[in-house]
Amino acid sequence: MASELPTPTEYVVHHLTNLSVGEGVWTFHPDTIVVSLLTGFLFIGVFWAVARKATAGVPGKLQSFVELVVEFIDDQVKGGFHGPRAFVAPLALTIFVWVLLWNLMDLVPVDWVPYFTWKVFGLEYTRIVPSADINAPFGLSISVLLLIIFYGFKGKGLGYLKELVTHPFGSNPLLWIPNLVLNIVELLAKPLSLALRLFGNLYAAELIFVLIALLPAWIQFVPGGAWAVYHILVVPLQAFIFMTLTIVYLSLAYEEH
């Protein structure tokens, strides 16, 4: 939208650039932050409204839907994590619904929001899929990393530190360094794989939507429709994988194995 007639390359690059504010590492992406806040408040708002009026009697349709989601998550957590669920289950619910809503933004036609924000607010760039901005998945997965470490100490106390230096090779002092290195790599690989899996999937999906948008207008609905339908599978699947792996990682850190 920046120029009158963008070349295909310019169009694609434009669509994959975030609005940014600030310098260097202290750059903010207001589009990602605002969209993820909006989706987050949508989740909290709807679920909270239902929770406030939740009745054990005959539930409304919305309450049934929310209960369906909650029970589904609760079952997943029950199956994967055997400690107290007071925090882990709501955590899993938040991750699942939030990531799901992020991913759903991918189904909004690629030009609508950028065009609107450009016309109305004069913003040069707008990307509305937070999971396709590497910072959002990493923000989430690094939070999960902190929780993994927290749950390691919570479940095993100082034994968690001991485990870091004595596993997997053995407790010989000579092996402490290799053990520690391996464990740190493993620990860091967790948030990295979590974030990159989500980011990769959604980034690629967004890119394909952008490429489809470059086709002649009269044919776009064919690949666009097909890709969107396929996306109905990808969107919840990626949210589900993110959530399930978080539970698994927390469970591994928390329990003896």
Q: Does 67 bind other proteins (CB under 8 A)?
A: yes
The window from 92-100, 114-122, 149-157, 248-256 that contacts other proteins (CB under 8 A) reads 92-100
Smallest Cα–Cα separation from 247: which of 125, 119, 76? 76
Give the sign of the dihedral formed by CA 101, CA 107, CA 112, CA 114.
positive
How far is residue 47's CA from residue 66's CA, in Å, rounded to a whole number? Answer: 7
Q: Does 151 bind other proteins (CB under 8 A)?
A: no
Q: Does 61 bind other proteins (CB under 8 A)?
A: no
**Minimum CB separation from other proteins for residue 74, in Å?**
7
**Minimum CB separation from other proteins for residue 148, in Å?**
14
How far is residue 55's CA from residue 252's CA, in Å, rounded to a whole number? Answer: 36
How many CA atoms, within 13 angstroms, populate the side-chain half-sphere of residue 222? Answer: 5
Residues annotated as catalytic (active site), given as ranges: 193, 197, 201
Among residues 27, 82, 170, 186, the one that binds other proteins under rule CB under 8 A: 27
Q: Structure tokens of 247?
A: 């539970």
Residues ≥6 apart with Cβ < 8 Å to 204: none
Among residues 203, 209, 242, 249, the one that binds other proteins under rule CB under 8 A: 203
Q: Does 206 bind other proteins (CB under 8 A)?
A: no
Smallest Cα–Cα separation from 148: which of 95, 185, 188, 180? 188
The 3-state DSSP composition of the chain as helix, strand, coil percent (nearest 5) reads 75, 0, 25
End-to-end CA distance of the chain: 55
Q: Does 138 bind other proteins (CB under 8 A)?
A: yes
Q: Does 50 bind other proteins (CB under 8 A)?
A: yes
Residues that contact other proteins, how many (by CB under 8 A): 51
How far is residue 190's CA from residue 162's CA, in Å, rounded to a whole number? Answer: 20
Q: Structure tokens of 212?
A: 């489809």
CB 198 within 8 A of CB 242: yes
Q: Does 111 bind other proteins (CB under 8 A)?
A: no
CB 154 within 8 A of CB 82: no
Q: Does 133 bind other proteins (CB under 8 A)?
A: yes
Q: Does 74 bind other proteins (CB under 8 A)?
A: yes
- Would you say 18 or 76 has its CB closer to other proteins? 18
Among residues 11, 47, 209, 242, the one that binds other proteins under rule CB under 8 A: 47
The window from 62-70, 104-112, 163-171, 212-220 that contacts other proteins (CB under 8 A) reads 62-70
* Residue 119 Cα to chain centre, angstroms: 29
**Minimum CB separation from other proteins for residue 109, in Å?**
22
Q: Which positions touch other proteins (CB under 8 A)?
A: 16, 18, 20, 22, 25-29, 32-33, 36-37, 40, 43-44, 47-48, 50-52, 54-57, 59, 63, 66-67, 70-71, 74, 86-87, 89-91, 93-94, 98, 130, 133-136, 138-140, 142-143, 203
